[in-house]
Chains A and B, each alone.
Chain A
Amino acid sequence: MIISSRTLDLVWILLIALTLGGVAIGEGAEPGFWITVIVAVITTFKARMVIDYFMEVGDTHPGIRRLVRIYGFLVPLLMILIYLYGPQIAQLTSL
């Protein structure tokens, strides 16, 4: 799949808008489930756009495509898991 210049331009504008929007949402926010979910979703969306439109992994070898796409979910998923199960994970990882 060849990405057009117009698509790249739109993706870049969206990435910048999401960055500024995420900053506005996150600034001064108190810890909470929904703020964690919002930050995680924005992070996932931005990473996926870089992966699909800049890296163009859509037609790459499955070993590359799957690994990179899964990686894009890793940190956002951990954000939510740590918020929900932080004490249990702390207990599991105590020496």
Chain B
Amino acid sequence: MATLASDNPFTEVRGRIPGNKAIWVGIYAELTEFALMFFVYFIARAHHPEIFHKGPEQLSLLAGAANTIIMLTSSFFVARAVLAIRHNDQRVCLAWLTAALITGIGYPVVKFFEVSWNLTHGIDGRGDIFQSSYYYLTLNHLVHVSWGLLGLVWIMFRTYTGGYTSSDYRGLLAFASYWHATDMIWLMIFPLFYVLP
């Protein structure tokens, strides 16, 4: 398996572990945290269907769609970076990671303008249950994206200094797994607040 060193203890388990065990503990925690918040969203929706039916009309669909495209594109760039390091091409890998960072920074920028737009339209989180759950889930997701962006800077530094090769790029894979999981969670959040009537 190209992703694992030959003396890696992970080869003892059935199937590979992308990156390392530690990142998967973090990803499991992230998935659990958001699963709980999704349950809260759905229970609130069951109790207040009319408020949630009208909810997406309050928000900027443009901002939600823009951040979806940003997350998908940044995730795609990271996947291309992984592919480049498999070919032992650190220069191309770094170029894809740079593209992922530049794209990813667009997420908090769009979020800033979205929240500003919200506040001018009276959506300040003190309104109905839809607004409360929207802020709770999306700001939590913003925190996870911010951690990811910091991690991406570190991964870029490691790539630049030759930390990854085609025979060992577990650190890059660990970051990629986290970034894709964070992307997947946004793919769940987006329809719940911006699309589903």
Contacts and interface: CB of A to CB of B under 8 A. Distances in A.
Interface of A: 2-5, 8, 11-12, 15-16, 19-20, 22-23, 26-27, 29-32, 35-36, 39, 42-43, 46-47, 50-51, 53-57, 59-62, 64-65, 67-68, 71-72, 74-75, 78-79, 81-82, 86-87, 89-90, 93-94
A75 B17 contact: no
A70 B39 CA distance: 15
Contact of A64 (B18, B188, B195): B18
Contact of B188 (A30, A31, A43): A43
B86 to A, nearest CB: 7
B111 interface: no
Contacts of B141: none
A39 B83 contact: no
A3 B31 contact: no
B18 A60 contact: yes
B195 A93 contact: no
Interface string B179-197: 0110110011011101111
Contact of A35 (B17, B35, B49, B197): B197
B61 A78 contact: no
A12 B188 contact: no
Contacts of A8: 76, 79-80, 83
A77 B191 CA distance: 13
B29 interface: no
Contact of B35 (A22, A36, A74): A74
B69 interface: yes
Interface stretch (B8-16, B116-124, B155-163): B8-16
B72 A39 contact: no
A3 B83 contact: yes
B136 interface: no
A86 B196 CA distance: 15
Interface residues of B, number: 48
A79 B46 CA distance: 10
A22 B191 contact: yes
Contact of B177 (A4, A22, A27, A55): A55
B61 A23 contact: yes
A68 B24 CA distance: 11
Given A4-B83, A78-B42, A79-B192, 17 more contacts: A8-B76, A19-B68, A23-B61, A23-B195, A36-B196, A43-B188, A54-B78, A54-B176, A56-B18, A59-B15, A60-B16, A61-B14, A61-B16, A74-B38, A75-B188, A90-B43, A93-B43
B65 interface: yes
B75 interface: yes
A79 B196 contact: yes
B73 interface: yes
